[in-house]
Structures are given as structure tokens and as C-alpha cells.
Amino acid sequence: MTGRVLSIRGVGRRFVTDGTVPAALSGIDLSCPEGSFTALVGPSGCGKSTLLRLVAGLDHPDEGEIRFGNAGASWLTPDELRRKGALGMAFQDAALMPWRDVRANIALPLQVLRRDWRKDSQQIEALLALVGLEAMGGARPAQLSGGMRQRVALARALVTHPEILLLDEPFGALDFVLRREMVRELQRLWLESGATAVMVTHGIDEAVFLADRVVIMARGPGRIAAVVEADIPRPRPASFFLDPAFHALCDRVERLLADAS
């Protein structure tokens, strides 16, 4: 670790609705150390996706600022990070291009950065193997199961070797068994990548399994209500799901979430 941090300071965002301007987010303060994993949970509409979009530079705050860096070096804005390919994103519905095969979908961020991705073909094959889809590189998204599509979306989020990995309900509509499998796969991919990860989820169990800390948000306006630290060594084995420490953390998050809802 070089001691950099993803710093979110006093961030607020308002949207105009029916002539009124309610705050979707207000006074968000969060510091994510480099290489850490932060999970965001909270009731629907509390601004989780809005916050992730601000970190991704897809939208801009009305107040406050978001930066990545450290005191000794220069700080980068989300726009600067995105332009240099330092942001990897996987959002709710895998959103793959149906007419492109799996390889070309994974390569998309490289093309957006105007890199010649054919030169990176070895890396794309390595990513396919990493997400267990080495035999599926030539398949179209329609030929894949939901879980396979999510894995393609993860590989695509990792293809630029991002320093920051942003995941918005990456396992959306997957069944229980597949979710558990994907959660462990994500832990492995993230540990290998060394990225600073922020993941939005409605699954308390996957938040606790993956995260160094779980941030519980409340709405009206969207704000941070509580933070639960999960100081458990990595890699966390599948048996962590059965561990009393895991269940104690889940109970705490669930109670705080009920208070915040």
C-alpha cells in the first residue's frame, strides 16, 4: 500500500423533481484506503447508485469533492481517473453489447480508451480464464447464463487494471447458490487486482463477507447513518459464511439498517 485514499468530503447532490429540489445526498464523508473494500447498503432510494455515479465521474456533486491520491502526491478527480482508465465499473444489469462476442465485450473499455485491444489479446484470454470462461470467448451474451454474463461484466471492469473498482449490485438477480459462488470469486479477483473497491448491495451477507467495512445509508436526504468494521483476515474462506463472527456482524448491520429505514 502506498497510502493513497479515495476521499469523499462533504458531498451533496440535488435533483430537481416537480419544481422542488430535494437533496438526494447530503454531507457524505467517507475515506476508503487504497486496496480496501467498502460495501454500501441502505433502503431503496437513499442515493447509493447516485454516490457511485459521482465516484465514477458519470455525474458531479453540487457540493463537496471526491479525490483519489495522498498528501504527498497529486490528487486526481473522478474525471481524470476515468480518462486514464483507472476506474472499473460493473453495474446492476450486466449491460453487455448483445452483438459483440464475450471477448469484444471485455475489450470495450480498452477501445473507449483508444487502445488497440488486439495487442492485449493475451490479457483478455487471461481474464477469460480468471473468470472461468476460457471456452466462451466467442459466444454472444444471449448464449450465456445470468451468472456468466455477470462474470463477463466483472472481467470487463478489470480489463484496464483499474485502481478503483465500482460495483452496483453486481449480482443483481442471481440465485442464492450462484451469488455465494460469485461473492467468493469476486474476493479472489479483487485481491489479485489490488484495487480499492466500493460495492453497492442489498445483500447484507455478501456485504459482510466481502467488505472491510459496511457503510449503512439512510434517506431523506441520503446520508451515512452508521459504519460497521469487519476486521477479518483474507482471503476469507467459504466457511466464514458459517462463522459466529460472520453472523454477529450480519446481525449488527441488519439492526442498523432497520433503524435507518
Ligand X SMILES: Nc1ncnc2c1ncn2[C@@H]1O[C@H](COP(=O)(O)OP(=O)(O)OP(=O)(O)O)[C@@H](O)[C@H]1O
**Rounded Cα gap, residues 39 and 161, in angstroms:** 20
Number of residues that bind Mg ion (CB under 5 A): 1
The 8-class DSSP code of residue 20 comes to: B
| Chain-centroid distance, C-alpha 189 | 12
Please tell me whether the peptide bond between 233 and the residue prior to it is cis, using omega within 30 degrees of 0. Answer: no
- Residue 162: Cβ within 10 Å count: 23
**Residue 196 binding partner per list ligand X, Mg ion, none, with a CB distance cut-off of 5 to 8 Å that depends on partner kind:** none
Q: Point out the residue whose Cβ comes nearest to Mg ion.
A: 49
Q: Which is nearer to ligand X, 44 or 239 (CB)?
A: 44
Site string for Mg ion, 23-62 (x = CB under 5 A): --------------------------x-------------
Q: Which is nearer to Mg ion, 128 or 200 (CB)?
A: 200
**Residue 50 binding partner per list Mg ion, ligand X, none, with a CB distance cut-off of 5 to 8 Å that depends on partner kind:** ligand X
For the sheet containing 63-69, what is the strand order? 23-33, 5-14, 63-69
Q: At what angle do helices 121-130 and 146-158 cross, to 10 degrees?
A: 130
| Residues lying near ligand X in the complex (CB under 6 A) | 15, 17, 24, 42, 44-50, 222
Q: Which is nearer to Mg ion, 5 or 199 (CB)?
A: 199
The helix/strand/coil state of 143 is helix
**Residue 109 binding partner per list ligand X, Mg ion, none, with a CB distance cut-off of 5 to 8 Å that depends on partner kind:** none
DSSP string, 31-95: EEETT-EEEEE-STTSSHHHHHHHHTTSS--SEEEEEEE-TTS--B-HHHHHHTT-EEEE-SS--
Q: Which is nearer to ligand X, 21 or 126 (CB)?
A: 21
Question: How big is the CA angle at 206 (ends 197 and 134), to the nearest 5 degrees?
Answer: 70
C-alpha cell read off for 234: 483474507
Site string for Mg ion, 73-102 (x = CB under 5 A): ------------------------------
**Residue 147 binding partner per list Mg ion, ligand X, none, with a CB distance cut-off of 5 to 8 Å that depends on partner kind:** none
CB of 76 to ligand X, least distance (A): 23
Q: Which is nearer to ligand X, 41 or 144 (CB)?
A: 41
CB of 10 to ligand X, least distance (A): 18
Binding residues for Mg ion (CB under 5 A):
49
